[in-house]
Every structure is written in C-alpha cells, then in structure tokens.
Amino acid sequence: MKRTTLRRTGASVATLAALSIGLTACSSEDDSSAEETTSEEAPAPAEEEEPEAEASAGDQTFGDACSAVPTNGQGSFDGMVDDPVATAASNNPLLGTLVTAVGEAGLVDTLNDAEALTVFAPTDDAFAAIPEEDLNAVLADQELLTSILTYHVVGQQLDPEAVVGEQETLQGGTVTVEGDTEGMTVNGANVLCGNIPTANATVYVIDTVLMPS
C-alpha cells in the first residue's frame, strides 16, 4: 500500500510540474504577444507645429530707407497702419517738413478724411535741397503750397504694380511712375521707401519735391 501511494504521489507531482511549466510558457508567450501588439498599435507621437510668425505692416514695404523707420511705436510701420495718412506722417521721422507744409496749407483734415489715397511724400532732405528763401516763400503762399502738395497725391490707393504708369493727381496734373520694387521713380524722383500702409492711404517716400507744370 505504501509503495502505491508513493508512486501515485510522485506521478501527481510530476503532472503538476509539467502543467506549471506549460502554463508559465503559455503566459510568457501571451505576454510577449501582447507587448508586440501594443508596440505595433501604439500611434506615433504627433509632431508639434511651430507657431507662425505674426505678419507685420513692414513686410510689404520696399526700399533702402525703410530701415530708417522705427521698429516700434506710433512711427513704426505697425503704428502708422492704424492712423490716417496725415497723422501717420506726423509720426514718421523722415517727413517732418512735409507735415509742417501740410499744416500750413490746411490739408490735414482733407488728407485724413479721404477714403483712399496714394501719397508721394518728400523727405526732409528733399525739402532741404530747396533754397531756404524759396522754401519760406512757398510755405507763406497757401495757394501755391496747396497746389504743390496736392500734386503729390493720387485719389486712390495703388500698390507697387498698380502705381506704375501715368497717374492723375488731386492737383489736376499727372505724374509718371516707372520701375518696380527693385527700383522705382516718380517723375524721376527716387522712391526711397515704398508701399507704406496707413489707415486710408499708401505712401511712397521720395527724395525730391515734385513741382507741377
């Protein structure tokens, strides 16, 4: 009896051991399979998109003198785009004499209230090229001054492509614009910084005061 019991017990133990090994192997295979499935099914992490740089009003301008315009504040391109043209010009460091002339001619409201204009704006150096006596005489003659200033203004907003050609001014005469963003002239005057946006106008800064016929 004892021998039979031992044999049966030993057989049972062997059977249990075999089952245990088999279950362990199956469990190991299942875990490996699950890991492979998880690894295959896991989505790749999404790439983070870089934020786009904000557009600036200065992005559309052209010309070497554009670098002289402040990079921030009311006199900057982003500052001027919010103001009507006469107000914007008053904040531009290149156009002090022009602003004075516009004030003397009483044209501030006329320019600011217009719906759409293109302005060819002479720099301070352009006015300084006129003999002082002659400049003072022009500033003192409102009718003549108004004629000269309105000769620098076209009654619509024109981008660098549309502005090329013969344009009629508010004074009644015409100006001839030639070239492109690589080099542009207005009646022979060089555009130093062009396509400057303001709330109601597009401005082209030029190096010479234009005189009507």
* 91-135 pLDDT tens trace: 988 999 999 999 999 999 999 999 999 999 999 999 999 999 999
Q: Are strands 201-206 and 189-197 parallel, antiparallel or unpaired?
A: antiparallel
Cα separation, 194 vs 192, whole angstroms: 7
Under DSSP, is residue 194 helix (H, G, I), strand (E, B) or coil?
strand
Burial of 70 (0-12, 13-18, 19+ CB in 10 A): middle
36 has a pLDDT exceeding 80: no
Cα separation, 93 vs 12, whole angstroms: 102
Q: Looking at per-residue confidence, does 153 or 20 come out higher?
A: 153
pLDDT tens digits, residue range 3-16?
Answer: 434 344 444 434 43
DSSP character for 39?
A: H
> In this structure, which amino acid lies at residue 5?
T
Strand order in the sheet with 183-186: 153-154, 117-122, 201-206, 189-197, 183-186, 174-180, 165-168
- Please state the pTM of the whole predicted model: 0.75
Burial of 104 (0-12, 13-18, 19+ CB in 10 A): middle
Indicate the pLDDT class of residue 192, thresholds 50, 70 and 90. Answer: very high
Mean pLDDT of 77-93: 94
Distance of CA 43 to the CA centre of its chain: 38
Distance of CA 124 to the CA centre of its chain: 26
Percentage of the chain exceeding pLDDT 70: 75
44 has a pLDDT exceeding 70: no
pLDDT attached to residue 58: 86
pLDDT attached to residue 15: 43
Tokens of 102: 């516009």
DSSP character for 155?
A: S
Q: Which helix (H) or strand (E) holds 20?
A: helix 2-41
Tokens of 166: 């013969």
**Superfamily classification of domain 57-206:** FAS1 domain (2.30.180.10)
pLDDT attached to residue 27: 47
Percentage of the chain exceeding pLDDT 90: 67
Tokens of 123: 């720099």
Mean pLDDT of 152-175: 98
